[in-house]
Structure 1
Amino acid sequence: MINASYEDKYLIVDILTKSFDTNKSVNYIVKQDQKRIARIRSLMDYSFEMCYHYGDVYLTNDKKGCALVLYPHKKESSLKSILLDVKLILRCIGIENIGKAMKRESAIKQLQPKIPMYYLWFIGVDAKHQNNGIGSQLLEFVIADSEEKQLPVFLETSTLKNLPWYQKFGFKIYNELQLSYKLFFLKREFKV
């Protein structure tokens, strides 16, 4: 695995946009109109920027898979983060959906623990190369990295078929949130 450079941004946004095209959680937040795919790209662009500045962005050596990791305890409010938030609202969520998005984020924050964490925001593999073990290698790397940093890994998923995969790697469901879909909250403690 490699630390992605800023020059890898387009590739990473492309992988994640295609990987999360039909994701319930992503499509809940993204304005559903003729620009939906461009709006998903904007969400992934935002996520890349936030993780690039307040976390880590990893890319597999063959550049077919990626992971965006955020350290919420290191995130700070700055002019840059505020501008990124405004850009997300205008290009992805839509002004009319701000209330819905804020309500969802507030509900998520209430269920997440207020501790230093290794937040796996997105993990994705190029659609042409899925089911070949790339995602598993990436997740194994993420787990090893979190253990080295001595931080528990937290994530959410709305994709039922992914639950057994995460559980195979030691993740446990610690909460659920019912929206127009069910969002599962998972965590994996680091081994001391």
Structure 2
Amino acid sequence: MIKATLNDEAIIVDILTKSFEANQSVNYIIRQDKSKKRRLRQLINYSFKVCLLNGEVYLSDDKVACALCLFPEKKGNKFKKLILDLELIIKVTGLGKLSKALKRETAIEKVMPHLPLYHIWYIGVEPMSQGKGHGSKLLQAIIDRASVLNRTAVLETSTERNLPWYTKFGFKIYNQLEFDYTLYLLQH
């Protein structure tokens, strides 16, 4: 596993944009119009930059899988985060989806365990490389990283078919939230 830097932005944004194109949770907060794919790239770009400020970003050794991880209590540079949040509203959610995004984030934060957390915000594999063990190897390395840091790994998924994969690695559903879709919250 390679700790990513700003130089890895393009490859990470490409991998996650392709991986999350049909994701219900992501599409819930993106304006659904002819610019949807561009907005998804901007959301992933925003998430990448937030994780560089307040977490860690990793690539698999072969650079076909990546993960964005947050330390939820870390607030980093508040001015930079404010600028990123404003860009997110303008370029991705618009005012119409902003309230949905805020309600969802508030609901997630309300039920998160009150422990030192390692939040796996995004994990994805280049679609042509899926099913070959790249994601599994990276997820195990991320779990090991959380353990070394003495933190509980948490994540959310709206993709029900991914639940068996996460449970294979020891994740358990600790809550689920209902929006226009079901969001499963898991911890390791």
- Mapped partners of 1:101, 1:52: distance in 2: 21
Q: Answer yes or no: is 1:96 the counterpart of 2:96.
A: yes
1:155 aligns with 155
The TM-score, its normalising length taken from structure 1, stands at: 0.95
2:68 aligns with 68
For 2:39, give the aligned amino acid: R
- Mapped partners of 2:182, 2:77: distance in 1: 30
CA contact (8 A) 2:53 2:76 kept: no
Deviates more, 1:33-42 or 1:99-108: 99-108
1:22-171 alignment to 2 at 5 Å?
22-76=22-76, 78-171=78-171
For 1:184, give the aligned amino acid: Y
> CA shift at 1:77, angstroms?
6.0
> CA shift at 1:76, angstroms?
4.0
> CA shift at 1:179, angstroms?
0.5
- Mapped partners of 1:86, 1:38: distance in 2: 17
1:39-77 CA distance string (max 9 Å, x none):
111110011001111111000111101010000111246
1:118-173 CA distance string (max 9 Å, x none):
00000000011110000000001001111111101010000001000000000000
For 1:18, give the aligned amino acid: K
1:65-121 CA distance string (max 9 Å, x none):
101000011124611000000001111111222222211111111111233200000
Number of aligned residue pairs: give it. 188
CA contact (8 A) 2:116 2:150 kept: no
For 1:57, give the aligned amino acid: V
Identity percentage over the alignment? 48
- Mapped partners of 2:96, 2:140: distance in 1: 40
Q: CA RMSD in A?
A: 1.0
CA contact (8 A) 1:73 1:115 kept: no
CA contact (8 A) 2:30 2:39 kept: yes
Partner SS state of residue 73, structure 1: coil
Stretches of structure 2 that go unaligned for 5 or more consecutive residues are: none
2:18 aligns with 18
- Mapped partners of 1:76, 1:65: distance in 2: 26
Partner SS state of residue 40, structure 2: helix
Deviates more, 1:91-100 or 1:127-136: 91-100
